[in-house]
Amino acid sequence: MICTLDVGHKNDENDMRKRGNELKKFINLPENCEKEMILGLVKANPTYLRKLDCGNVIVRAEKKRDKVALITGGGSGHEPAHAGYIGKGMLDCAVPGAVFSSPTPDQIYEGIKAIATPAGVLMIIKNYSGDIMNFEMAQDMAEMDGIKVAKVITDDDVAVQNSTWTIGRRGVAGTVFVHKIAGAKAETGASLEEVQRAAQEAIDNVRTMGVAIAPCIVPAAGIPGFEIAEDELEMGIGIHGEPGVSKQKMKPVDEIVDELLSHILEDMDYYGSEVAVMVNSAGATPQMELLIAYNHIADVLAEKGIKIYRAYVGEYMTSLEMQGMSISLLKLNDERKALLDSVADTPAFKEFGR
Amino acid sequence: MICTLDVGHKNDENDMRKRGNELKKFINLPENCEKEMILGLVKANPTYLRKLDCGNVIVRAEKKRDKVALITGGGSGHEPAHAGYIGKGMLDCAVPGAVFSSPTPDQIYEGIKAIATPAGVLMIIKNYSGDIMNFEMAQDMAEMDGIKVAKVITDDDVAVQNSTWTIGRRGVAGTVFVHKIAGAKAETGASLEEVQRAAQEAIDNVRTMGVAIAPCIVPAAGIPGFEIAEDELEMGIGIHGEPGVSKQKMKPVDEIVDELLSHILEDMDYYGSEVAVMVNSAGATPQMELLIAYNHIADVLAEKGIKIYRAYVGEYMTSLEMQGMSISLLKLNDERKALLDSVADTPAFKEFGR
């Protein structure tokens, strides 16, 4: 198998490498990106992650315990989502598809089987039609094996009601809060119904909106996912470059933040609440810019009587090297505060517990 | 004070915002980037960080303890370095200059005074002439106050012997290992001499080399830091875009990794050793590409009889939105393994302890 691949590599070398070179990416053959990325991820985190022999399915390395098991997935290209969140207090399995493509039902089914416990399995699905279809097919297959499976669907993006690949709102970076909340709840030994309820309440209380100023290039496609002029931004963009609410002239980040927040705050009443804030990089946005944005977010929320309980600023659900960011606000209650605060130990999300 | 700034902002608005827009960055006024970034960082991490009233000096929020205190600093634009590493088991103070510029002696002196304990203060300085001069001036001022101060200078970059701003090798991403090792040693209650020795031994045992495929733009400058053709890479680049060993045609990442590793492995004998590996993003490189690179690094080191004890893949010492990466190898002994493994709790680096 390794020999065959090596020979293939050498035969196609000149042609394929040229494609890689034209892309100016740190890759080898474009069609091997997902496979090599997953191997790298597992090799870098052997105490956390294990790859199933049957394909691109990543599960917790440690012995499974009798608790509700959590599975999620979606296209690759959103790293550290989703496999970076596998570990204590978060996920048990992540199933990555090709870049920006849904994982297959077979993959998901293998993942469910690998992590299933008598307590059951909760599927956390971002609201994309292909993802939902494939997760539901896997659920049917697993239920025929007698595995108890439930699901929640995240749809936190307030930018658009329907989109390129979605009926209803898209599931975006707020999904990471759902991983944390549901994972922490499962860790307490709660029942499948209780974990599902906590996850659904997190979904009901999180809103996100994003903006981009430059696209990314899917390696296998070799061209930018969308076009944008040198002096323009795309307000309300999705995590695969799906169009948002408007193309606009570039403006200071404080004004961009004001617009993102106004959509989020119009959509749900946060007044007087405590919130967790996530400022998520689309991939290529420097931390300096995320922090400048956060500085203004903190001021605006303070003015509006919304108390920030916790802030998360960094790369949580990216879109390869897209230049952009999203803001997520999770409205908190005592349960969600405790679940956010509880211990998480994963490659990409660590929480000591408070 | 705030009013004055606001008026200034409005007066210069059209002119300055145009500059921000042309840059396609999520910023407000270019000259306010550092200030707003630091405010955002401290607001996002109130349990970890506190900004001194006297200027851009960031210290640990928690009450100081009688242990050796660690201070570092350098230009802004390398986030999460350096203030992201302030907290338990790592740093006590970080002093950020303007983007890619040394902090001033006054700033550093204020930082030293704020964190000084009877056990003394260790300065961790990256080898740039301006940084060293300013830290040493601050040291002189602090010693006149009776504060015990020692220093170490990191110079892990094997690419070039001297550079634009350096006599001798540059201090780059391997410095983060020195923060971890020295911080963990200080946490044990070791003396200043002992912490300095552990830090120096980490420096003696770490080597780094980097590569870039696209430059970054310093907001105040408004133009890319270096030029590079559409089909070229710069091998051996510094963290401010200083030239490296050669401009080359783009090639597959496995070959890029081979070249970086060959320079590192020629410089020090790692054979038969255990190492910690850091694959550090220059800022805009997606995690997918870092992981693809790591996949090959792991294979190459295994072939060469070098055992990977721990891997760190992500953004550790960036250069704004530069597209690039560096590889660092830290040779380990029992002491460094234990110090790497010990608890660290900072905004950007968390280690549960093993």
**Average model confidence (pLDDT) across chain A:** 93
A252 touches chain B (CB under 8 A): yes
Model confidence, pTM? 0.94
Write the ipTM: 0.94
In chain A, the largest separation of any two C-alpha atoms, in whole Å, equals 64
The two tokens of residue B128 are: 């740039």
Alpha-carbon distances, residue A162 vs A124, A166, A225, B353 (angstroms)? 20, 6, 19, 46
**Band of pLDDT at residue B4, cut at 50, 70 and 90:** very low
To the nearest whole Å, the CA of A338 is away from the closest chain B CA by 17
Query: Where, residue-wise, is CATH 3.40.50.10440 in chain A?
Result: 31-204
Q: Give domain B206-351's CATH number out of 2.30.30.180, 3.30.70.100, 3.30.1180.20, 3.40.50.170.
A: 3.30.1180.20
Cα–Cα distance, B235 to B238 (Å, whole number): 9
A338 touches chain B (CB under 8 A): no
pLDDT of residue A354: 83
In 3D, which of A339, A40, A297 has the Cα closest to residue A183? A339
The question of whether A240 is a catalytic residue gets the answer yes
HEC string of B257-324? HHHHHHHHHHHCCCCCCEEEEEEEECECCCHHHHHHHHHHHHHHHHHCCCEEEEEEEECCCCCCCEEE
Question: Under an 8 A CB cutoff, do A17 and B251 touch?
Answer: yes
Q: Are A210 and A159 in contact (CB under 8 A)?
A: yes
Half-sphere exposure (Cβ direction) of B40: Cα atoms closer than 13 Å: 29
Q: H-helix or E-strand containing A203?
A: helix A192-204
To the nearest whole Å, the CA of B131 is away from the closest chain A CA by 21
B307 touches chain A (CB under 8 A): no
Question: Under an 8 A CB cutoff, do A285 and B350 touch?
Answer: no
pLDDT in tens, A268-303: 999 999 999 999 999 999 999 999 999 999 999 999
Cα–Cα distance, B40 to A297 (Å, whole number): 9
Q: Flag whether pLDDT at B116 surpasses 70.
A: yes
B25 touches chain A (CB under 8 A): yes
The two tokens of residue A119 are: 């307590």
- Residue B286 has its nearest CB partner, among A38, A39, A79, at A79
Tell me the one-letter amino acid at B102.
Answer: S
**Band of pLDDT at residue B110, cut at 50, 70 and 90:** very high
The question of whether B9 is a catalytic residue gets the answer no
Cis amide leading into A80 (omega within 30): yes
Q: Flag whether pLDDT at B19 surpasses 50.
A: yes
The residues, ordered by sequence, that sit 6+ positions from A11 with a Cβ below 8 Å of its Cβ are: none
Half-sphere exposure (Cβ direction) of B101: Cα atoms closer than 13 Å: 12
HEC string of A232-281? EEEECCCCCCCCCCEEEECCCHHHHHHHHHHHHHHHCCCCCCEEEEEEEE
Q: Flag whether pLDDT at B288 surpasses 90.
A: yes
Query: Where, residue-wise, is CATH 3.30.1180.20 in chain B?
Result: 206-351
- For residue B249, the chain A residues in CB contact (below 8 A) are 21
- For residue A229, the chain B residues in CB contact (below 8 A) are none
pLDDT of residue A63: 83
Closest-CA residue of B relative to A41 is B291
The two tokens of residue B272 are: 């038969």
Count the Cβ atoms, other than its own, within 10 Å of residue B18: 12
Q: H-helix or E-strand containing A71?
A: strand A69-76
**CATH code assigned to A31-204:** 3.40.50.10440
Residue from B36, B232, B291, B341 whose CB has the most chain A CBs within 10 Å, to mutate: B291
Return phi, psi of residue B183, to 5°: -65, -40
**Average model confidence (pLDDT) across chain B:** 93
